[in-house]
Structure 1
Amino acid sequence: MAGVGGIGGDLDRWLEPFLAALGHRKRRLWAPLYLRGLLGPSERKSLQPMAASLGLSGHDQLQHFIASPAWDDAPLWRVLAEQANRLVGGPEAVLVIDDTALPKKGTLSVGVARQYCGQLGKQANCQALVSLTLAGREVPVPVGLRLFLPAEWTRDAGRCAAAGVPDAAVVARSKGEIALAELDRLIAAGVRFGPTLADAGYGASAAFRQGLSERGLTWAVGIPRNQKVYDVDVQLIPPAGRKRRPAPDQEPREAGAVLADLPWRKVTWRHGTKGPLTARFVAMRVRVGDGATWANNRHLPGDEVWLVGEWRSSGERKYYLSNLPPRTSLQALAAAIKARWVCEQGHQQLKQELGLSHFEGRSWTGLHRHALMTCMAFAYLQHRRLAGQRPARSGKNPDLHSGTATIAEPAGRTSRHHGAALR
């Protein structure tokens, strides 16, 4: 089977640290085969088509490898983090936190529920995975995919048990809490990166932002327009009389209102295949209102950060907070914020070319292990690309001559200000 996918011994050499972590002889056999199935020419990357493309008589042993709870895949996730760090890690890399949805029919697949599905752009029956992507030089490598369990699942221990959810995972956790736990795993594995980036689904949470700061990370995250902020010179008035807490000497205001009347400046943050990518931006230093509650659900001023506004050509306005240094330029702020785009490319290719969304099993173990194998396949292709071994593309599909999936080129050369934003 060494020649499947036209990748030969190169894949075997790249897999050596993963196989060393596996240990068990049979798993050392089936892991490369499963990976070759994901990388191969089959349009559908579920078990039966992969088994057929590999020339196997059936798919039972692939099923056992991917779904068996008898072995721990945590060592493979660690090796993946180490390999991703070797490929693209460093102080100028970014770590992008996001989530991706897998549309599903029925109610038995683990974690499936009616919730927002980004792929469809609406509420739909789907599984939601919290994703972490390490990216350097506009080259993404997914390093974490962890299922979010909706409340209707965590409240039903029997349903979780039927889907094989470990007892320790049957607990209500927000996507932000899952992301912070995955961050700790990556930091423990020695992954190196600069800013951590996330959209407003995460950035709206004060606990999430504070969790990033407590870990000593720089970050830039989206927020809703009604996020309350204070002027940077806000002062606290000591409590008097019956008051138990100090009070600020000014009222907090919504982020959208604070930036509305300031001068917005056109900024180019990157040059894409269709020309420069531009929008109007504005930024000012503020104290974000995420401290202790002092009155009528109003919060005391917290840390001093950047409040950034983006005015897109469509007329839509987006808002962000960032703890990048005070002397960071507007162009560097914009470049850091917009570096988050690269995870969308990764999600699309994980689903379409490597079969993340094709898994038909229902179990917790099977879903996460399939997700792990798709991330390993993605990392391997990035290894080939960075080594100059990328096979030629044939249209939008995997190259049928080599039989391997491919990873798209970045959208264009990196902005010359990108490094400044990430230092």
Structure 2
Amino acid sequence: MSATLQTVEAPSLPPGPATGAPRALVASVLSSLRRRDQRHKGELYVNGLLHAPGRKTMRNLAASTDERSAEQSLHHFISCSTWDWSPLRAELAARMDQLLAPKAWVVRPLVIPKTGRHSVGVGRRFVPQLGQVVNSQHGYGLWLASGAASAPVNWRLSLSGDWLEDTEMRQRAAIPDSVDAGSAEGLVLDMALETAGWGVTRLPVVTDAREEAVPSMVRAFSRAGLPFLLRIGGSTGLLAPALSGGGSRSVSASAGHLAELARSQRRPVEWFEPAGNGLPKTSLVSLLPVRLPGPRQAFGGVPSAEAPLTLVGVWSPNSRAASELWLTNLAGASRSTLLGLGRLIGRADADFTGTSLPVGALDFEGRSYHGWHRHVTLVSLAHAVRLLGPEAQQARRSRGALTPVPMTGGRRVRDSGRFAPAAGAGRAEVPANVPVAASPGRAAG
């Protein structure tokens, strides 16, 4: 029997001309800036991100205004001013939470190639998606994602030990004393917890963790009570119950091997690609209860602190091996729900390429830590404005106004529409390949 992701009319974003909802959004987000001149400069900067041709350099942004000395003024506003970006992000997140009705928080990496050595956080690092060492900045963005659209609302910049241990480099980039190197899972967790603190709907964190320390990430998210769906590699070690029965007997093996053992659990699920052409696709999906390996290997005797997890295997209809492996703490969620959530990474990837790149996501030229964060905050606002514009809405309608929304599945809590993750993992609102975030060219810095 095939489970199907229901195809329903996409929830439309607010209609109206560009001077309507988008202008109101900009005014609302910038209202946390106390000074009128800062709010004015914020409007100029966002307008430049939206309309200045080519790369969003300070010169090009200034040229899009009618004001003299705009280049110096905007540079000071971004790199040297004192305004805090967090309230702007919180307001933007609250607005987009209402407008998009998101199903997940998608976390995707941001890799910004650089030709120079002076941009904050820049360094030579291996980029798996490119298969080579690249001189670049590296960060993470948290996106509110639905089938119709997605928008970034929070950011973290990864800093290597060189930037934090070299006093001169740290002072030159004005890196706060409170910022440390941190692991990838630490940065992602900190970003998710901050977003949760803004009062927006708490949703599953969905990310490609194939290049991350999966056990550390799972434990960090579990301790924080956050629901998650992580794409993992086939070599990730897991512990599963013996599939032939036997009580507390267990199998310790790689995720890829366990998925092969669970082939009999596969069921067909029909789905629609969020950023695709509207044609249905079919995948075979298996679910297998697993845990992280611990000192006690018997499945039934693993300490209760290790919350139960589910290994999700995804096969193309004619493939012999699983094409995707996912790990989640969303207890009771259906195959269609989990597959639909995983597909939202593609939604965020498409919106990054189609919307964030054109409004300057990779174009920050400055060297300061604060400047980078202020720039990407206003890029997020420009991204949201473009989503509300008539051209973007017409494009969504031209795709057939049909959006994949997973059919209801999983255990509901008090008929509230909430799914319960595994014990100790919090609750998640769940209705039911991270490509490098870089353009072919290299930014200066």
| TM-score bracket for the superposition, by shorter chain length | 0.7 to 0.9
Instruction: Kindly provide the CA deviation profile for residues 105-130 of structure 1, in whole angstroms up to 9, marking residues without a partner as x.
Output: 11111001112447745321111111
3-state secondary structure, aligned to 1:172: coil
2:165 is matched with which residue: 155, 170, 195? 155
Q: How does 1:276-287 map to 2 (within 5 A)?
A: 276-287=280-291
| Structure 1 position 21 matched with structure 2 position 62 | no
Unaligned runs of 5+ in 2: 1-16, 411-429, 432-445
2:335 maps to which residue?
Answer: 330
Contact 1:141–1:346 under 8 Å retained in 2: yes
1:198 maps to which residue?
Answer: 207
1:49 maps to which residue?
Answer: 60
Closer, same or farther: CA 89–230 of 1 in aligned 2, 3 Å: same
Structure 1: distance between partners of 2:367 and 2:287: 46
Shift of residue 190 of structure 1?
A: 0.7
Closer, same or farther: CA 251–309 of 1 in aligned 2, 3 Å: closer
- State the TM-score, normalized to the length of structure 2: 0.76
Closer, same or farther: CA 201–66 of 1 in aligned 2, 3 Å: farther
1:343 maps to which residue?
Answer: 348
Structure 1: distance between partners of 2:125 and 2:396: 29
Worse-matched range after superposition: 349-358 or 97-106: 349-358
Structure 1: distance between partners of 2:105 and 2:345: 8
User: Kindly, what percent of the aligned residue pairs are identical?
Assistant: 27
Closer, same or farther: CA 252–300 of 1 in aligned 2, 3 Å: farther
Structure 1: distance between partners of 2:314 and 2:212: 15
Structure 2: distance between partners of 1:410 and 1:198: 26
2:257 maps to which residue?
Answer: 257
2:140 maps to which residue?
Answer: 130
**Would you identify which runs of 4 or more consecutive aligned residues in structure 1 move more than 6 Å?**
313-316, 406-412
Shift of residue 275 of structure 1?
A: 2.1
Structure 1: distance between partners of 2:57 and 2:397: 23
Shift of residue 14 of structure 1?
A: 2.4
Unaligned runs of 5+ in 1: 1-5, 235-247, 394-405
Closer, same or farther: CA 250–118 of 1 in aligned 2, 3 Å: closer
Structure with more contact order per residue of length (Cα contacts < 8 Å, sep ≥ 6)? 2
Contact 1:101–1:128 under 8 Å retained in 2: yes
Structure 1: distance between partners of 2:51 and 2:128: 27
1:70 maps to which residue?
Answer: 82
Closer, same or farther: CA 268–143 of 1 in aligned 2, 3 Å: same
Closer, same or farther: CA 269–26 of 1 in aligned 2, 3 Å: same
Q: Work out the number of aligned pairs and report it.
A: 380
Shift of residue 266 of structure 1?
A: 4.2
Instruction: Kindly provide the CA deviation profile for residues 144-192 of structure 1, in whole angstroms up to 9, marking residues without a partner as x.
Output: 12111123323323212211111111x2201211111111111111111
Indicate the RMSD between aligned Cα atoms, in angstroms. 3.1
1:306 maps to which residue?
Answer: 310
| Structure 1 position 114 matched with structure 2 position 144 | no
Structure 2: distance between partners of 1:73 and 1:89: 24
Shift of residue 300 of structure 1?
A: 5.5
1:242 maps to which residue?
Answer: none
Contact 1:204–1:223 under 8 Å retained in 2: no
Contact 2:149–2:351 under 8 Å retained in 1: no
Closer, same or farther: CA 87–409 of 1 in aligned 2, 3 Å: farther
In structure 2, what residue type is equivalent to 1:417? P
Structure 2: distance between partners of 1:44 and 1:334: 36
Structure 2: distance between partners of 1:181 and 1:129: 13
| Structure 1 position 269 matched with structure 2 position 271 | yes
3-state secondary structure, aligned to 2:83: coil
Contact 1:133–1:144 under 8 Å retained in 2: yes
1:36 is matched with which residue: 31, 47, 68? 47
Closer, same or farther: CA 408–37 of 1 in aligned 2, 3 Å: farther
Shift of residue 419 of structure 1?
A: 5.0
Worse-matched range after superposition: 54-63 or 358-367: 54-63
Contact 2:289–2:308 under 8 Å retained in 1: yes
- State the TM-score, normalized to the length of structure 1: 0.80
Instruction: Kindly provide the CA deviation profile for residues 174-219 of structure 1, in whole angstroms up to 9, marking residues without a partner as x.
Output: 1211111111111111111432211124764323223323333322
2:14 maps to which residue?
Answer: none
Structure 1: distance between partners of 2:322 and 2:401: 24
| Structure 1 position 317 matched with structure 2 position 323 | yes
Closer, same or farther: CA 407–358 of 1 in aligned 2, 3 Å: farther
Instruction: Kindly provide the CA deviation profile for residues 65-114 of structure 1, in whole angstroms up to 9, marking residues without a partner as x.
Output: 11114232222122122212221246xx2111121111111111100111
